[in-house]
Structure 1
Amino acid sequence: MKAATLVAALALAGGSTADPYAHCNGDVVVRKAIQDLSADEWSVYTSTIQQAMGSGLWQTFADLHNAQANYIHGQTSIFLFWHRQFLKWSEQKLQEIEPDFYWPYWPVDRSWAAEQWSNDPVWRIMGKTVDQGFVARHTFNHADSTTGPLLRAVDWTSDLPSSQQYAAAYANAITSGEGFRSYSDTVQAFHGWFHVTMGGDMSTMESPLDPLFFLHHVRSFLHWCPLLPCCLFVRRFPF
């Protein structure tokens, strides 16, 4: 079992030709990288989030995360469990607006070097900051019902955690005997690295105000389930 787990973990780092949907049965939806959304999928994604921002729901996501911050971060293994539940709940709330809405992700761990991710096509979608502050001239630059305009202060010179580092964390937790707590702490450190690099709202406990929060956390979740090839592709997050 440990060997199989290791193989699966290392496969996530790239180089595996295994069909990730081989064991997916029934009603499934493929969660895509944000850059790979079709025109129709992009329309659903943007319009749903815009409606959530206009209704106050988007602010509710941020407020809930902020209210729970002291309990779900730090030296606690609840970090991954809570955020997985949060992804599921927020997706279901958005599906009440648009049933075809699903969270996509940003596989920045595959283009982790600063010179790569800083020039990623995702910025044409998410928008770059003006003078390291307000995000202007893009789809989500302002949410009327939130506390203010979307803010970022991105450190464009910082490398980010790679898929190999995620896989190594998983493998080390198994081979060292330290188990899930060790893995959770390492992933949380990687997660903090991403948040601080993005800056602005992402560096606060109101970070769900930035759609980057969800693109990042969905991708992080994928690294947690290498033995469950359907875990990010079924119609709802598995529990």
Structure 2
Amino acid sequence: MRLPLISAFGLALFSLQQVAGITPPPGAESLTACSDVSVRKEIRSLSSDEWNTYKSAVEGAKGDRWIDWFGYLHERVSTKIHGNSEFFLYHRKFISDYEKILRGYEPNVVLPYWNNMIDYQNPAGSPILGEKYFGGNGVTDKCVSSGIANSWNFTYLGNECLQRNFGEADTIVTWYSPEFITSILQSSTTYADLRAGIENSLHGIVHLSIGGDMNTMHSPADPIFWLHHSNIDRLYAQWQAVEPDTRTYMYDGKDYAGNDVTLDDKLTYTSTPAYEVMRLGYGNMCYTYDTIQTANGDENALLSKRQRKCKPRPSKATQTIQKLPAKVLADFYPSFNKKKFSALENEMSDITPKQPMAADCSKPFTPPKPSEKMRGKMPYPGTLSKEYIKMMNLNSEEVRSAEKRAFAMIDELNAANYLSPYLFDLE
């Protein structure tokens, strides 16, 4: 089943809205608009047909050892694409290349993303890490034995199994909340700010805490990698779309060698200049995200008639945040503080979808109510280990700064007796 596409006319309008007034860098003028733009969707909002198409493509790529290849390639380039400004751009191209490989098996497949922030309280309990989707923790020898990755082995790793290694009692540490990622999106005024805020928080803790192969440089061996990085790319794309005239081609900070980056820099081990992957809907970047389309007022275009009838109710997370003390808003939510409520920089717009395989009309979805037991008790996220920081070539001061910011935000929210709509009674 083909995922929704934007028509050429719709793309033209979309492009004008997104990049009005921009002056493209040298060379970017030659990039042509895509005739069709596929829409990446949150994995839980896929229909059964869409999920089966994706699963078939992944299984085909795995059988032909493409998953092995991407794991090997990522390991070879790893020290140059983490902990510096190339992080977003290299991975954008990397997952786009993977999506193209999948289309060799299923021409209509589109890479989904996993909005793992909404699962931050109890990641191990997410259906994405369950039998229906990608399987859970490793068991014997840490091997994954459930879900799409059931009994996977990798030749280039010496025929080892796909491994995961959660914490004690099959639990995973708390991840980063929608509240924190919203704060990062609203507070980051430069590309380098956003990269540091996202890579050193959400990106790292998901890799580290799932463990096993995800906590290595050949992490693309785990099918979770692709959904996680699609989500990271989504956040970057949304940040770009907030101020497209200044952010579409904003590229600052340092490369792996400590040099100032430029738009003409070639991405590691490729002939692709940075600017070629920065504008979605142009060149080879023929995709967008459902959240960007929704923010542009085109939400219904992404939904079938059946899905529109069954659309889950949004939460009141944003309204709850608006009632926080002025100091909290000033410290962590500059856009909210200025009465700006763009969905592009608000990961708290709703907590859906939470129900596997999209909404079911026979079983209408109702978001769970947050637990009053958790009022004023937002948990701290897990922290990155020294070993992980070294492996990923990260700046330890930068990492601890991101963690400190997260702790400070949580302290202020808890002091305000805030009840997060993403915290539930797990007993």
Matched, 1:38 2:47: yes
Are the aligned partners of 1:231 and 1:237 in contact in 2 as well (CA < 8 Å)?
Answer: yes
- What is residue 163 of structure 1 aligned with on the other side? 178
Distance 1:111 1:145 in 2: 29
Distance 2:106 2:78 in 1: 28
Q: CA deviation at 1:77?
A: 0.6
Distance 2:119 2:149 in 1: 24
The unaligned stretches of length 5 or more in structure 1 are 1-21
SS of residue paired to 2:161: coil
Specify which structure has the bigger relative contact order, considering alpha-carbon pairs within 8 angstroms and separated by 6 or more residues.
Answer: 1
The number of residues matched between the two structures is: 209
Q: CA deviation at 1:32?
A: 2.0
| Per-residue CA distance 1:150-193 (angstroms, 9 max, x = gap) | 1101232411112222222232222xxxx211211121112111
Distance 1:109 1:42 in 2: 21
- What is residue 138 of structure 1 aligned with on the other side? 147
- What is residue 108 of structure 1 aligned with on the other side? 116
Distance 2:86 2:233 in 1: 14
- What is residue 217 of structure 1 aligned with on the other side? 229
1:73 to 82, 97, 100: 82
Counterparts of 1:49-128 in structure 2 under 5 Å? 49-74=58-83, 76-114=84-122, 117-122=123-128, 123-124=130-131, 125-128=133-136
Matched, 1:184 2:195: yes
Change (3 A) 1:137 1:157: closer
Q: Which amino acid aligns with 1:211?
A: P
Percent identity at matched positions?
A: 28
Distance 2:224 2:176 in 1: 16
Distance 2:222 2:108 in 1: 21
| Per-residue CA distance 1:180-214 (angstroms, 9 max, x = gap) | 11211121112111100110000000100001101
Are the aligned partners of 2:165 and 2:211 in contact in 1 as well (CA < 8 Å)?
Answer: yes
SS of residue paired to 2:188: helix
Distance 2:115 2:63 in 1: 28
- What is residue 419 of structure 2 aligned with on the other side? none
Q: Which amino acid aligns with 1:228?
A: A
Q: Which amino acid aligns with 1:78?
A: E
Q: Which has the larger radius of gyration?
A: 2
Q: CA deviation at 1:30?
A: 3.0
| Per-residue CA distance 1:127-161 (angstroms, 9 max, x = gap) | 11243811103221233554321110123241111
Are the aligned partners of 1:222 and 1:231 in contact in 2 as well (CA < 8 Å)?
Answer: no
| Per-residue CA distance 1:49-80 (angstroms, 9 max, x = gap) | 11111111111111111000010112x11111
Distance 1:68 1:203 in 2: 16
- What is residue 262 of structure 2 aligned with on the other side? none
| Per-residue CA distance 1:74-127 (angstroms, 9 max, x = gap) | 2x111111101101111112212221121111111123112xx32222123111
TM-score by length of 1: 0.78
Q: Which amino acid aligns with 2:71?
A: A
1:236 to 286, 294, 310: 286
Q: Which runs of 4+ in 1 moved over 6 A?
A: none
Are the aligned partners of 1:61 and 1:209 in contact in 2 as well (CA < 8 Å)?
Answer: yes
